Chains A and B, each alone.
Chain A
Amino acid sequence: MSEKVYAWLLRLYPSRFREAYGEEALQLLRDRLRDEKGFFPRLRLWLDLLGDLAISMPHQYLHLEPTLAGTSAQPHLNDTPSFFVLGDESPRPGALLLGGVLTLAALSTFSILLGRGGTQARMGVIVSGHLDGYAKPSHQPVPQAKPQETANAMNRPDAAFKLDAEERQRVVDASAAILKKNYIDRDKAQKMADALLAHEKNGDDDAATDGADFAALLTRQMRAVSPDRHLTLVFSQDPLPRNPMGQTAEELIRYREIMKQQNCTFEKVEVLSHNIGYLKLNSFPDVSVCQQTAETAMASLNDADGIIYDLRDNRGGEPAMVALMAAYLFDHPEYWYNPRENTTGRSWTHSPVPGNKLADKPVYLLTSGRTFSGAEQFCYDLKMLRRATLVGETTGGGAHSGVWHRIDDHFGMGVPETRAINPFAEADWAETGVEPDVMVKAADALAEAKKLAASKSQKK
């Protein structure tokens, strides 16, 4: 009996393994059955077998066709689906039939689920709210992308939202409470809360029927008391995620997949004429996922005589990656202003980077109105440190240093809870953006930077 069960279990292994060692495996089982008699030895035997099955079977499939398995680790180009053949024998008719039945079952289940549509909106939120703009799921959704923009782009019929008096009251009450509890300046927090409630009572908010207008109005009312550009009230047409951490395992897996497919948003890494390194980076992705890609990209440009960072499509990302990329541009730890941090402890670049030769090379940053958030931090700090020449347009103006507080499905606010030390100026780029040194249209920025870099290298 035991042998029969095990023979059946052996069928789970790849056919090549079964053919080569199936009989020997059964022989080994027979040997053990003969030698290990009694309840406990048999129990141990079966535990051994099941444990062995769980460990060795995935291993067998993983190493079935190593050259093919190896290619699956390569990034997929242009999102083209690819298939890998893991066995060279023809499938048995039974297997084909079973495969057909399973496919039909999966297709019909999928159609039924599509018809119900209950979970569709939720999935859409995850994708649009977090992953649009390559932002990693974060506990601060606001800093990553403007939810309004996403909502407009999606224009989804199921996200009908109506702003009524009740909703306005709820948002005002919640905002006042959040301010009093969290805003850095308690006195101003109280005054802002009072102002919000007073405007509400006086009917000043009644004219606002659109969510975005109402959010902008409340932001103006708060800033009339405390002109703090890091304080924002945000409206999102799409329901905002409930999970305070904002990141589920699925989201992280999806994020990793996207990063893998898109080479961590390092769209182009090449050396241009005059030995100028060119790096088109479309976000500052999570260091824990993309550090190696970043290091490889920088290493490939290590011998360049200058470097152009194309940030025209960069919508920001993780401060840690911003700091990592900046570390290559200095030969000593440099103070690195991050509006989300209030202390100097972590605000230094990890320079020098061992083996790096770019610390004294000229740097050009290409900017556009779309350059946003973390990308603006990169631009702002390098500009203030006089380490880079910015070429292009004024950046988008999103500092996103507030801590995110979700009010309800459609409203949330970013509240500064720490006072960041900006050694360069009173204000950073919040709302105003970073002005380039050489103002040209974004489309002409690369040509202009190439010209500047070439003339600099000729002078040398």
Chain B
Amino acid sequence: MPKRKLDPLPSTAFQILLALAGEDMHGYGIMRRVAEQTGGRMRLGPGTLYSSIQTLLEGKFIEEVDSREDAKLGQERRRYYRLSSAGHKLARSEAERLADLLRPARTKKILRGEYV
């Protein structure tokens, strides 16, 4: 099932994978990181965020590590998530696919910048 839901990879799932690429995070942390890395364009609501997390967990692209407090946010315990090696691979293949899409745009000078 996750395979079907993640093919093609929805942009929310891709952004979540990217957010987890550096460090383990809880839901709210992921939400903030995604907003940050998309320049505020993508603000994940709880429903979308946890639906995507659920799908990625089922596909073993991310895993739940442990529950602990986040000192900055108070005493509440939070579930943390980590990128798995399959998730890393998935994020990389999606990034490559997007880069392939951009290549012709750069060649034709529709998009400026270095070849990727």
CB of B116 within 8 Å of the partner chain: no
Give 7 A-B contacts (CB < 8 Å), ordered by A residue. A21-B50, A24-B79, A27-B28, A29-B46, A31-B28, A55-B47, A66-B1
**Tally of A interface residues using CB under 8 Å:** 25
A57:B76 contact, CB within 8 angstroms: no
A59 and B10 CA atoms in complex are apart in Å by 13
Q: Taking beta carbons and an 8 Å cutoff, which residues of B are in contact with A?
A: 1, 4-5, 27-28, 31, 43-51, 53-55, 73, 76, 78-79
B47 neighbours in A (Cβ, 8 Å): 13, 25, 52-53, 55-57, 60
A66 neighbours in B (Cβ, 8 Å): 1, 4
A279 and B74 CA atoms in complex are apart in Å by 70
CB of A20 within 8 Å of the partner chain: yes
Interface of B, secondary structure class, is helix
Residue of A nearest to B1 (CB): A66
Interface of A, secondary structure class, is helix
Contact of A20 among B28, B31, B54, B78 (CB under 8 A): B54
B50:A17 contact, CB within 8 angstroms: yes
A28:B46 contact, CB within 8 angstroms: yes
B1:A51 contact, CB within 8 angstroms: no
B76 neighbours in A (Cβ, 8 Å): 27
A67 and B4 CA atoms in complex are apart in Å by 11
Known: A31-B28, A31-B73. A25 touches B4 (CB 8 A): no
A63:B1 contact, CB within 8 angstroms: yes
A49 neighbours in B (Cβ, 8 Å): 45-46
Inter-chain pairs besides A17-B50, A25-B47, A51-B45, 12 sampled, C-beta below 8 Å: A17-B51, A17-B54, A20-B50, A24-B50, A24-B78, A27-B27, A28-B28, A52-B46, A55-B48, A56-B47, A59-B51, A66-B1
In order of increasing CB-CB distance, the 6 nearest A-B pairs are A52-B45, A56-B47, A25-B46, A21-B50, A31-B28, A66-B1
